[in-house]
Structure 1
Amino acid sequence: MDDLIAKLIKTLEKPYSAIGLGAAITGVLIILYHLFDVGRGYWGPFFTFLHVISGVTWIGLLYYFNLVQIPTMPNIPAELKPAIGKYIAPEALWWFRWAAASTVVTGLFVFSSGTAVTNLTIVTGALLGLVMAYNVWFIIWPNQQRALGIVPADDETKAKSARIAMLTSRTNFVLSIPMLYCMVTARLVG
Structure 2
Amino acid sequence: MEAYLVDWLNLFFRWFHVIAGVAWIGASFYFVWLDLNLKTPPQWKKDKGIKGDLWAIHGGGIYEVAKYELEPQSMPEKLHWFKWEAYTTWLTGFALLCIMYYWGADQYLIDPTKMLLTQFEAIAISLGFLVGGFVFYELLVKSPLQYSPKLFGAILFAGLVFSAYALGEIFSDRAAYLHVGALIGTIMAGNVFFGIMPAQRELVRAIEAGEKPDARPAQFAKLRSTHNNYFTLPLIFIMISNHYPMTYGHEHAWLILALISFNAAFVRHYFNLKHQGQNKPWILVAGLVFLFGIIGYMLPKPVDMTDELIADNQVLEISKQRCASCHAAKPTQVGFAAAPGGIMLETLDELLVNKPRILQAVQSNYMPLANMTNMTEDERTKMIRWASE
- TM-score for both structures, normalised by structure 1: 0.64
Q: 3-state SS of the aligned residue for 1:119?
A: helix
Q: Give, in whole Å, the separation in 1 of the partners of 2:88 and 2:30.
A: 19
Q: State how 1:40-189 maps to structure 2 within 5 Å.
A: 41-68=7-34, 70-73=35-38, 75-76=40-41, 77-78=45-46, 79=48, 81=68, 82=72, 86=76, 90-91=79-80, 94=81, 96-114=82-100, 118-146=174-202, 149-152=203-206, 154-155=211-212, 157=214, 159-189=215-245
Write the letter of the residue equivalent to 2:19: I
Structure 1 residue 187, shift from structure 2 partner: 3.3
Structure 1 residue 172, shift from structure 2 partner: 0.6
Q: Give, in whole Å, the separation in 1 of the partners of 2:39 and 2:201.
A: 19
In terms of fraction of residues, the more helix-rich structure is 1
- 1:21-57 deviation line (CA, Å, top 9, x unaligned): xxxxxxxxxxxxxxxxx99922211110000011111
Structure 1 residue 72, shift from structure 2 partner: 3.8
Residues 52 and 166 from structure 1, CA distance in 2 versus in 1: closer, same or farther, beyond 3 angstroms?
Answer: same
Contact 2:10 / 2:99 at 8 angstroms: preserved in 1?
Answer: yes
Q: Give, in whole Å, the separation in 2 of the partners of 1:188 and 1:44.
A: 19
Contact 2:24 / 2:86 at 8 angstroms: preserved in 1?
Answer: yes
Q: 3-state SS of the aligned residue for 2:98?
A: helix
Structure with max Cα Rg: 2
The two structures, once aligned, show a CA RMSD in angstroms of 3.0
- 5+ residue gaps, structure 1: 1-37
Q: Give, in whole Å, the separation in 1 of the partners of 2:7 and 2:175.
A: 21
Structure 1 residue 161, shift from structure 2 partner: 2.1
Contact 2:199 / 2:218 at 8 angstroms: preserved in 1?
Answer: yes
Q: 3-state SS of the aligned residue for 1:75?
A: coil
In terms of fraction of residues, the more strand-rich structure is 2
Structure 1 residue 107, shift from structure 2 partner: 0.8
Identity %: 28
Structure 1 residue 112, shift from structure 2 partner: 2.5
- 5+ residue gaps, structure 2: 49-65, 109-173, 246-365, 367-389
Structure 1 residue 143, shift from structure 2 partner: 1.3
Residues 123 and 44 from structure 1, CA distance in 2 versus in 1: closer, same or farther, beyond 3 angstroms?
Answer: same
Q: Structure 1: which 4+ aligned runs deviate by more than 6 Å?
A: none
Q: Relative contact order (C-alpha < 8 Å, sep 6+): which is higher?
A: 1
- Higher mean displacement: 101-110 or 128-137: 101-110
Structure 1 residue 188, shift from structure 2 partner: 2.3
